[in-house]
Amino acid sequence: MPESNDDQWVNFFFGAPSSTAEVPTLEISQPDFSQVWRVQAKYREGFWARLESGEQVFFQYVPLGLKLLEDRGNLDFGMTVTFGDLGEILPDEVQRGRAAGSLRTSPPRVVYRSYRSDGMERPMFGPVVLQARTITRSPEGSQFDAAAPQVNVSKTGRVYRSDEFPMLRGFL
């Protein structure tokens, strides 16, 4: 029986050799982008890895800075991503989204996965689906905050609907 993601995570911290590293990856997509961008910052030649669906994909190297905003298990999980692409990737893609008029209604989707450097057969952590609401430019590249889509104010991940919560009818 294959290890679950939780088992892989525990084994990574308590049983993996010291030469094993965590390899964070991002998958950035939007309906009007020219392609799905799969990026990572550890291996300059890039690498092939298998997604949770079983599809094998290539993650290309881009200088990235990832700063987690909350704990991984938190519903407020998010990260600040500094994309050191020198304006070669994201600004052109953002321009495509703006030209098509879909950037505000369909913000870029950012999927965070983490792999073990000694096993790229499936993610050790993730996928965590986030959204990039604002993307800013700097001389070094682009930066954005990727955060969980706002589903409701209570952040339970469940939408309050009157068919699920009949008591809400009294407040409407």
Give per-residue pLDDT as tens, 69-115: 766 555 567 888 988 876 678 888 888 888 888 888 888 999 999 99
DSSP character string of 63-81: -EEEEESS-TTSTT-EEEE
Yes or no: say if 50 and 116 are a contact pair by the CB < 8 Å rule: no
Yes or no: say if 153 and 75 are a contact pair by the CB < 8 Å rule: no
Instruction: Sort 161 into a burial class: Cβ within 10 Å, 0-12 / 13-18 / 19+.
Output: exposed
The structure tokens 């995570």 sit at 9
Model confidence band, residue 139 (pLDDT cutoffs 50, 70, 90): confident
Predicted local distance difference test score (pLDDT) of residue 88: 76
Cis peptide bond upstream of 2, omega within 30: no
Predicted local distance difference test score (pLDDT) of residue 68: 81
Task: Tell which wins on pLDDT, 35 or 85.
Answer: 35
Residue 1 has pLDDT above 50, yes or no: no
- Alpha carbons 33 and 169: distance in angstroms, whole number: 41
Average pLDDT over residues 22-28: 94
Which tokens hold the place of 67?
């700063």
Predicted local distance difference test score (pLDDT) of residue 51: 95
The structure tokens 């200088």 sit at 63
Model confidence band, residue 152 (pLDDT cutoffs 50, 70, 90): very low
Residue 145 has pLDDT above 50, yes or no: yes
Average pLDDT over residues 4-30: 83
User: From the CB of residue 26, how many other CB atoms can be counted at a distance below 10 Å?
Assistant: 23
